[in-house]
Homo-oligomer: A and B are copies of this chain.
Amino acid sequence: MPIVTFGTAYYPDHWPKSEWARDLDRIAEAGLTTVRFGEFSWSWYEPRPGKFDWAPFDRFVDLVEARGLKLCLCTPTATPPPWFDTLFPDGRLLDMNGRRCLSPRHFWCWNHPGSRAHAQATIERLAKRYGGRNSLWGWQIDNEPNYAEEANLATPERMYDHNPYARQAWVRWLGEKYDNSLAALNEAWATNFWSQRYGAWDELIVPRGRTNPHAWLDWMRWREANLADWIGWQRDLLRKLTPGKPVGCNIPETGISLSLSIGQDYWAQAAGLDWVGTDLYQATGNRKRDLARLAYSTDLMRSAADATGAAFSISEAQAGPHERAWPNNFAGEGFSPGYLEQSARVFCERGAEKIWWFLWRPTLGGHEIGMNGMQSLDGSNTLRTAAAYRLSREGASLAARRRTFLRRPRAVVHYSRDSLRFATAFSADAQRAEDTFAGWHGLLESAGYRVDFADDREVTKVSPAEAALLVLPFTLVADGPFVEWLAAYPGSLVVGPHTACSNRHGHLCATHLPELLAAAWRVDFGLWRDVGDLPRAAKLPPLTGWRELSPRAGGRVRAKFSNGAPLATYTKNALIAAVDFGELSLRTTTAQRTTLVRWLRPSTVKADYTGQRGKRSSRQA
């Protein structure tokens, strides 16, 4: 178990040279060991295309090195300089109507080959200059890929990327996926519906909004793959340039809705990295809820890091409140004393080996003016600086918290990205899925588990030996080998009401639940109903619907709605829910939540799903 270490983000380009030494001294005095820099500074050191001004950068690195600090150097691709627009006038992201992206960051289409070549040349220069420095701890690729790209699921015509270079990449990706068979694509996309059958690959260039759910599903897959490829391309480039130096990325946990808008696949972005960081800003002032949200996000992102064997870190942990003198909507004032320590403990317990405070000094200018500083606006120490110092000295004991945490039984939640993508074909309201996953996380923690998430690639690696419980809260898309694997899964399972309703192309399962699963779980799925159909006596809080469940022979009813319809059925190793327990748990009374927790406790799971069911059946509602 490694010791937890700390660092911070510091931007020399925001401050007079005369203050760098003092600021770095204080960073070192606070027990921090690493400084992260460079993700937004392209125009600082390459003010004109191909003309570099390294002197200030060199001086800063010297000062870092002189204090024994280490540097995490970021590639600058999040914000190309203004001259990019002059050099590559056709290189901006475009939306479906051809409007140029005006986002403050991540406004660039890296499928544009000329601009990608320029990015490569700049990264090579950067690596050549600093790759050999002792102080180089490692690399961060870009920063928060695609975050702040102002895409919006609710208005898909405002989503990117429809730059012609991107569309060509999209058509190439489809060609590969469908083995250059348009017939296969037409079949998969059900293009006979509303006369969309394609007769030539070029026709795919023309967008048709969110008309076709199967095409939309592929489009969402491609966007995420395309972004992950861009990260992978930088990863491979850096590996070649500075072998042995750790390469990672700061992948923000943006919530499900935004992650779908901007095309994030956490697992795909993490693949092959040495370290995976994330950043989490959650300071609404409701301390309990804020910490629960940090716990959920940390577990989610650590799972993505674990899947690729990467070290896990918090690349940006909020270091302080905002110091603006006017009201603003972004969290910050909710950051109150003690929160720094509490959030650090949450991160460490759940696997963070490194925490970078964001940031050392709030800038006095720029878009994020006055935000998030550990220090005061003038660079002087605050109470938080002292707290950070104390935490730095606790590295080993913080790591020990993790060991205690790991003793809990493990629940694995299937985080089916494909299902989330598919759902967006019909609704921009991803809050439900957010509630589902956050709700399940809290429910399982209440029942005594530690929680891991497994994406579509990882889920079939789960085994009962390692997981006391496997939960499928939102596994809409499932077919073929995965269905077979699921039907044969010998461990304890909780099955959500949407499970396996469609195949990989997004075509509905004609029997609602594949026969293999119905046979395994002893249940048939009927219609998905509005909760409005439920008698009021059920006393459930508002939900988005429920599933008709009919137990087959060998299936039993765990509880009923007041109108007699099953609320959950179960069999030897599976509990099948007619409603979304995750969402439900966020809205229940304490008593209702207690019932859910009781059903899910490791001891109950063990008793009920291994043949010792007799003595509990009398307790069913």
Report which A residues bind B (CB closer than 8 A). Answer: 11, 13-14, 40-44, 47-48, 76, 79-83, 85-86, 96-97, 99-100, 102-105, 157, 189-200, 202-203, 206-209, 211-214, 285, 321, 323-329, 333-334, 336, 362-370, 376-379, 423, 426-427, 432, 476, 497-498, 501-502, 505-512, 525, 527-530, 532-533, 544-545, 547
- Contact yes or no, B195 A79, CB < 8 A: yes
Which residues of B have CB within 8 Å of A497?
A: 325
- Contact yes or no, B207 A102, CB < 8 A: yes
- Contact yes or no, B199 A83, CB < 8 A: yes
- Contact yes or no, A44 B327, CB < 8 A: no
Whole-angstrom CA separation of A497 from B211 in the bound complex: 44
Give the shortest distance, in Å, between A275 (CB) and chain B (any CB): 24
Of B202, B325, B365, B506, which contacts A528 at CB under 8 A?
B325
Which residues of B have CB within 8 Å of A195?
A: 40-44, 76, 79-81
Given contacts A102-B96, A545-B327, whether A206 and B85 have CB atoms under 8 Å apart is yes
Give the shortest distance, in Å, between A162 (CB) and chain B (any CB): 11
- Contact yes or no, A43 B325, CB < 8 A: no
Given contacts A82-B199, A86-B202, whether A506 and B333 have CB atoms under 8 Å apart is no
Whole-angstrom CA separation of A423 from B525 in the bound complex: 49
Whole-angstrom CA separation of A135 from B244 in the bound complex: 76
Give the shortest distance, in Å, between A144 (CB) and chain B (any CB): 12
Whole-angstrom CA separation of A379 from B510 in the bound complex: 9
- Contact yes or no, B432 A367, CB < 8 A: no
**CB pairs A–B below 8 angstroms (11 shown):** A40-B195, A43-B192, A80-B195, A83-B199, A194-B366, A213-B366, A214-B365, A214-B366, A333-B545, A365-B505, A378-B511
Give the shortest distance, in Å, between A24 (CB) and chain B (any CB): 18
By CB atoms of chain B within 10 A, which of A368, A512, A544 has the most?
A512
Q: A190-B364, A328-B427 provided; 8 other pairs, C-beta below 8 A? A: A47-B197, A81-B199, A86-B202, A102-B209, A192-B366, A327-B427, A362-B508, A379-B510
- Contact yes or no, A511 B377, CB < 8 A: yes
Q: Which residue of the partner chain B has the closest CB to A42?
A: B195
Give the shortest distance, in Å, between A252 (CB) and chain B (any CB): 16
Give the shortest distance, in Å, between A546 (CB) and chain B (any CB): 10
- Contact yes or no, A367 B193, CB < 8 A: yes
- Contact yes or no, A366 B212, CB < 8 A: yes
Which residues of B have CB within 8 Å of A48?
A: 199
- Contact yes or no, B213 A367, CB < 8 A: yes
Whole-angstrom CA separation of A213 from B533 in the bound complex: 46
Q: Which residue of the partner chain B has the closest CB to A533?
A: B333
- Contact yes or no, B43 A82, CB < 8 A: no
Give the shortest distance, in Å, between A38 (CB) and chain B (any CB): 10
Which residues of B have CB within 8 Å of A198?
A: 82
Q: Which residue of the partner chain B has the closest CB to A187?
A: B365
Given contacts A102-B209, A104-B209, A323-B528, whether A366 and B83 have CB atoms under 8 Å apart is no
Of B42, B190, B336, B377, which contacts A508 at CB under 8 A?
B377
- Contact yes or no, B86 A326, CB < 8 A: no
Whole-angstrom CA separation of A13 from B196 in the bound complex: 12
Whole-angstrom CA separation of A544 from B327 in the bound complex: 6
Whole-angstrom CA separation of A342 from B600 in the bound complex: 45
- Contact yes or no, B191 A104, CB < 8 A: no
Whole-angstrom CA separation of A279 from B363 in the bound complex: 43
Whole-angstrom CA separation of A194 from B103 in the bound complex: 12
Given contacts A86-B200, A325-B498, A336-B533, whether A211 and B367 have CB atoms under 8 Å apart is yes
Whole-angstrom CA separation of A476 from B324 in the bound complex: 11
Which residues of B have CB within 8 Å of A510?
A: 364, 376-379
Which residues of B have CB within 8 Å of A321?
A: 527
Give the shortest distance, in Å, between A371 (CB) and chain B (any CB): 10
Which residues of B have CB within 8 Å of A329?
A: 427
Whole-angstrom CA separation of A202 from B426 in the bound complex: 43
Whole-angstrom CA separation of A449 from B392 in the bound complex: 58
Given contacts A193-B368, A199-B82, A366-B190, whether A476 and B209 have CB atoms under 8 Å apart is no
- Contact yes or no, B547 A325, CB < 8 A: yes
Whole-angstrom CA separation of A366 from B511 in the bound complex: 18
Give the shortest distance, in Å, between A19 (CB) and chain B (any CB): 10
- Contact yes or no, B193 A333, CB < 8 A: no
Give the shortest distance, in Å, between A453 (CB) and chain B (any CB): 20
- Contact yes or no, A203 B82, CB < 8 A: yes
Given contacts A203-B86, A544-B327, whether A506 and B365 have CB atoms under 8 Å apart is yes
Which residues of B have CB within 8 Å of A507?
A: 364-365, 369
- Contact yes or no, B533 A363, CB < 8 A: no
- Contact yes or no, B432 A327, CB < 8 A: yes
Given contacts A86-B200, A527-B321, whether A103 and B209 have CB atoms under 8 Å apart is yes
Of B97, B190, B203, which contacts A365 at CB under 8 A?
B190
The 4 closest A-B pairs by CB, nearest first: A193-B366, A190-B365, A325-B501, A104-B211
